[in-house]
Structure 1
Amino acid sequence: MADSFEVAILGGGLAAQCLARHLRRAGVTGPIVVIDRGALPIPATTLKLGESTVEAGAWYLGQRLGLHDRLLAEHEMKFGLRFFFSAGNNDDVGDRLELGPQHAARFRRGLRPPAYQLHRGRLEHMLTRLNEAAGVTMWPGTLVGEITLATTNERHRVELRDQASGRARTIHARWLIDASGRAGLLTRPQQLRRPLAHRVRVAHGWVAGRIDPERWTARPEFGDRIEPDLRWRSTVHLIGPGYSIWMIPVDPQITSIGVVARAGGGVLDPISDAATLNRWLAEREPQLAATIARSAWIDGPHFGDVEAHVSRVVVSPRRFAVCGEAAAHLDPLYSSGFDLLAIANELIVATVLDDAQARPLAPICEQRNVVFAQVARQLLSVYADAYRLLDAPRIATHKITWDIATYLGYLAPLIMSGTFAQAQPLADHIQIAARVVRLNRRMQQLFSSWRARAGRAGHEVPSVNLAHLPPVASCFARLGDMDPSDPPARWHQLLRDNLRLLEDQAIATFLDAAADLGLTLPDGRIDAHAISLEPRAWAADGLILREPTPHDTETAEQRVSATRRGMSGQGSLSSPLVLEPDTRSPSPADRSPA
């Protein structure tokens, strides 16, 4: 007789283990099985990519899955993203423009919301053991054969074979989840995987020891900016023409290193082994190359091209679903993998619970699949032209700052509010979300246009402190004050306030770009939703607001000025802002369709 399960998860990696724990904590008490061809649990010493989280993905692990205390005890607290842009031959990090947080006291007190640097093997091992203790069945060393999806209210059928004994078995499951990553045990035969127009080449591996940029310079001003022993806790990116290099502390004895560039004509295309990679690094990043030579690779380097993709379906009314890398993979630059994992799992768990309540799944699944696809498209727009802009530090600092602000002000609150799977709160947020998406589209176009006109624009300041930028600092601080249990109306107000802060950031960037290019601006207050670097379009788009804005004009201009000072390296620590009620009418550009 075939074994029968409420949920069968194909694949036993991080997405699968997170989903199994999420289902149990959400009240799914029926039998759950996790099936994988490899070991379960994996050895805690296993090294795997995907070690860095950002705020929303970290919230999912720490709060939704209840792992915060364990993560603090067994992994590293992350001190944000940190970028060093090329200067000369990059032989002294003290000469490079540094973009990142410098608020040491806030970090020491404990950032809210937090993010983590993870040892993936240790995390997956722990999750598997916790799931076993919660009654989740683990079938390691098991190959998945023929899958027969149910067409009615019957259960799905999956043929399995134990690798060691060759014994065949059949299972039935009400819900079938593809968590098999690139193997795509469901997405490939069902033709669900949709390639996206974005491909990168990656060279990655792990080296022994901790890599601390503070050891790469003797310049006193570099050490004076941040107290010692903090920079290495960030996800550090070394930025050069056409490439980004990550450095992530996996634990005190291991650092993850990855080089990413555009595939097909990118600077990494000729690199295929350790020797050529080491020579490439010695030429472009001599300080990192010397560190690796002293420490040596302990795993890798590994090479490959990665094409972005998204599944056409995340939840199906036929009671199957897709999560983790099987659902979407975009780009490693901003560590968005955990966020996509969190969104997919939120949608899947909510749909399983809806099914248990006998709710009609077709309209629910349609809306949730649209939401996931929209988020993936929004994130992809951030990456589309990123590597071409990295060789222009002045433009790249504005772009990265904008990308961080939109994440903290828009995407992270949507995930952390828990409203992705709730129809009415989500509908209430859609109008604001659409305005952010349109604004982001204009900003990404502005960055590309700025780069095309200005060329490889340098930056004359030594550092930009994210805590000195009012929109970024306020979006972060406000997010830390929120709780998922807060009513939807409070989250809605947060999104409204954050939109105004993002408008300030957009205007500050536009003013800097216009000044850089020598453009003469008309008098009047600027509408963020109409900005561009095409003067002939300004009048038709409504660049200058004609209607009075009585409540917030002066303070908004002050925020814009403070943001520009921060971007020039002359800012001061920004406290969370108190905003006046917003009474503005939408501009002609803001009324355009999404």
Structure 2
Amino acid sequence: MASYDVTIIGAGFSGLTLAYQLLQNIGPIQIALINDGSFPVNNAAHKVGESVNEVGGLYLSHILKLHDYMEDNHFKKMGMRFFKETNGSFAEMGPAAFPANDSFHFQRGKFENDLYAMLKENVDFFNHHKFVDFSEETSHKHVLFIDKEGKEKSLTTQWVIDASGMKKVLSKKFNITRKLPISHASVWSRFSGFINVSDIYLDHGETPFSYATRERSSIHVEGLGYWIWILPLSDHATSLGIVFDEERYSFDDFSSQEKMLSWLDKHEPLLGSYLRKKNFNILDFKILRKFATLSDYATSPDRWALTGDAYGFWDPYYSGGFDVVAFQNTMLTQIIKSDLAEEDITRKIHNNNVLISSFMELMEHMFNNMYTLKENWYYLTVKYCIDSVTYFGSFCVIMRNIDFSDDILVESIISLVKETISIYSDIASFLRSDTFKKLNYTAPRKFLLHPTLFSTTNMNINTPNNNKNELINILKKHVNIMKYQYYYLLKGYDYMILLHSSIYDIISSNTDIDSYADNPLLLLQEGA
């Protein structure tokens, strides 16, 4: 019977990248990968998730060292871009140039085919095989699986990792997964052609985006109770999907390709009329309902773990699923490396579960009732900028600079992350409040995100440069920035003014922010 160090269930993004990372960081290591499909898959495979933001981009470029591969084979992304149509005109928010840190659109099938080609000489793939169960033996696990004819096979392994996506084979086995309290659903298609937003939302040379390659952004079209993504996968294929709240819209209105297009005709006429005129060939159509789930923990002291959607998934709005994979795979790699070196991994497993659950807690606060407030352009702009400052200043900085082998450092960072999330929760609650709704402020209808606190925070993701003390200092500075934003908003001031201020340079890790709680403008005046 074959024996392995690690057995991975699932050969999608999370399983393949974990195998690649394990091989990069641990050698020699014996890996088995049980895949209920086979390779090659269609280059533009119809899977959830075709865009990664900065944490995912850092994972691919910096951690896995695939930057050149991604740039040569997939589309670099010009950040996120938001449109909101009203009575035939539109508002827009986004960058005019590529951000300082890379993110990507990518064809999932091509990426997975290419990674398979990189791995197949060093990983034992069991394609067209289905995981059945595993049992604990004295010094290993006994894994049972079957081939496509139903013939039983088995192997022994030290670790079992569930990367099976929504199948969630291990979380179901141990009954540790639960549905989350949001009723969002999604329908999406891949169109055979390039959907160019510059031909939909016409710019006549009169906006900050006139010379931007707008179509290379991750496009969000916003509406009350829904949003639409438009993602360029190649010069000849585009992914378009609608995510909507089933408490506001009937699922039956989206249940076929034609119904989806008719819904767009009614609710997004600029986009709907463009699609009708172009008459692209629709390659496929997919539905996913009530997809939000979460497991009680990600890694067990009994040497099995969950990664990717097998662990949990809130919402595709910020492509957060890839960020969860990035953190979980990186922490798992360090845990397995330490375990194979016969080190005690109890502390690392605890830290892993705390940090990954903190990331999911942040998503909970981000998505709580957000869909019900999308009608307000000022809310959308403030919310996105605060969400991004939170994300860039904490999780992106951590992914770029942390050493997960250092338990003391990880625990210090967890403490700062928890403080950040607590402050963010207070901010998000205020943005949902009647007090905020009654503020009589407006955001620019054509809102350029540079230069602002948003872009400055993004540019400083790499600042610690792997220096542990500097990493702690910049995270403390970020906690202070979060706290200052909260005090500023509570006083009823216009966030647009703060966003365009030099507050990032004024605040340090040692600034006594609480002393400015009653008069936050004083800090801006002192720093002027």
The alignment status of 1:17 with 2:16, answered yes or no, reads yes
- Cα distance, 1:64 vs. partner? 1.1
Quick one: percent identity of the two aligned structures?
A: 23
Match of 1:358 among 339, 342, 353: 342
Whole-angstrom CA distance in 2 between matches of 1:188 and 1:588: 49
Deviations 1:460-494 (A, max 9, x none): 6322222132x2122111114454xx121111112
Structure 1 residues 248, 575: CA separation in 2 closer, same or farther (over 3 Å shift)? farther
Distance 2:503 2:119 in 1: 41
Question: Partner letter of residue 473 of structure 1?
Answer: S
Aligned residue among 584, 590, 594 for 2:512? 584
The 5 A counterparts of 1:114-125 are: 114-125=102-113
Q: What CA distance in whole angstroms lies between the structure 1 residues aligned with 2:40 and 2:391?
A: 33
Query: Which deviations, in whole Å up to 9, do the C-alpha atoms of 1:168-217 show, x marking residues without a partner?
Result: 32111111111111112211011121322223111111112222222125
Q: Are the aligned partners of 2:328 and 2:352 in contact in 1 as well (CA < 8 Å)?
A: no
SS in 2 for 1:96: strand
Deviates more, 1:62-71 or 1:187-196: 187-196
State whether residues 90 and 201 of structure 2, in contact with CA within 8 Å, keep that contact through their aligned partners in structure 1: no
Q: Does residue 498 in structure 1 map to residue 478 in structure 2?
A: yes
| Counterpart contact for 2:3–2:156, Cα < 8 Å | yes
Displacement after TM superposition at 1:239 (Å): 0.5
User: How big is the alpha-carbon RMSD for the aligned residues of Structure 1 and Structure 2?
Assistant: 2.6
Q: Supply the distance in 2 between the matched residues of 1:494 and 1:81 (Cα, whole angstroms).
A: 25
2:141 maps to amino acid? H
> Aligned residue for 2:397?
413
- Report the AA paired with residue 564 of structure 1: M
Give the deviation of 1:357 after TM superposition. Answer: 2.2
Is 1:256 the counterpart of 2:239? The answer is yes
Give the deviation of 1:584 after TM superposition.
1.4
Equivalence for 2:468: 488
Q: CA deviation at 1:228?
A: 3.7
CA deviation map 1:246-290 (0-9, x unaligned): 111111111111111123344656421122211110011112212
Offset of residue 342 of structure 1: 0.7
Q: How many angstroms does 1:391 deviate by? A: 1.0
Instruction: State the Cα distance separating 1:295 from its structure 2 match.
Output: 3.5
The answer to whether structure 1 residue 146 and structure 2 residue 138 are counterparts is: no
- 1:137 maps to 2:124: yes
Identify which range, 388-397 or 430-439, moves more after superposition: 430-439
2:86 paired with 1:96: no
Instruction: Give the drift of 1:118.
Output: 0.8
Look up the equivalent residue of 1:345 and give its one-letter code.
N
Question: Whose radius of gyration is greater, 1 or 2?
Answer: 1
Q: Does the aligned pair in 1 maintain the 2:190–2:238 contact within 8 Å?
A: yes
- CA pair 588-12 structure 1, distance change in 2 beyond 3 A: same
Partner of 2:195: 211
Counterpart secondary structure, 2:174: coil
- Among residues 168, 171, 174, which one is paired with 2:155 in the alignment? 171
Give the 3-state SS of the residue equivalent to 2:461 in structure 1.
helix
Q: Report the CA distance between 1:458 and its aligned residue.
A: 8.6
Equivalence for 2:526: none
**TM-score, reference length from structure 1:** 0.81
Amino acid across the alignment from 1:226: F
Are residues 576 and 565 of structure 1, via their aligned partners in 2, closer, same or farther at CA, if it must alter by over 3 Å?
A: closer
Give CA deviations for 1:127-180 in whole Å, capped at 9, x if unaligned: 1111114x1111101122232134x4x21111222215x443211111111111
Alignment correspondent of 1:565 = 497
Closer, same or farther in 2 for the Cα pair 1:295/1:507, shift >3 Å?
farther
Map Cα deviations across residues 52-109 of structure 1 (whole Å, 9 max, x no partner): 1111111111121111001000001111111112322xx3xxx32211112x3xx3xx
Q: Is the 8 A contact 1:97 1:459 kept in 2?
A: no
Deviation at residue 507 of structure 1 after TM alignment: 4.5
Question: What is the CA–CA distance in structure 1 between the aligned matches of 2:235 and 2:503, rounded to whole Å?
Answer: 33
Q: Shift of the alpha carbon at 1:385?
A: 1.4
TM-score (norm 2): 0.91
Give the secondary-structure state (helix, strand or coil) at the position aligned to 1:198: coil
**Alignment partners' CA distance in 1, 2:425 and 2:189:** 34
Residues in 2 aligned to 1:267 and 1:446: alpha-carbon distance in whole angstroms: 30
**CA distance 1:277–1:588, change in 2 (3 Å):** same
Shift of 1:429: 2.2
Aligned length: 517
Following the alignment from structure 1 to structure 2, what is the Cα–Cα distance between the partners of residues 269 and 459? 36
Pairing 1:307-326 to 2, within 5 Å after superposition: 307-326=291-310
Counterpart contact for 1:478–1:576, Cα < 8 Å: no
| Distance in 1 of aligned mates of 2:194 and 2:130 | 38
Q: What secondary structure does 2:45 align onto? A: coil
> Which range moved further: 239-248 or 261-270?
261-270
Kindly tell me: are residues 203 and 580 of structure 1, through their superposed partners in 2, closer, same or farther at Cα, counting changes over 3 Å? closer
What is the distance in 1 between the residues matched to 2:265 and 2:259?
A: 10
Partners of 1:234 and 1:502 lie apart in 2 by 27
Q: Distance in 1 between matches of 2:82 and 2:498?
A: 16
Equivalent residues of 1:395, 1:450 under 8 A apart: no
Q: What is the aligned partner in structure 1 of residue 186 from structure 2?
A: 202
Q: Superposition pairs for residues 229-248 of structure 1, below 5 Å?
A: 230-248=213-231
Q: Which runs of 5+ in 2 are unaligned?
A: 518-528
Q: 1:289, 1:578 → 2: CA distance?
A: 46
Partner of residue 147, structure 2: 162
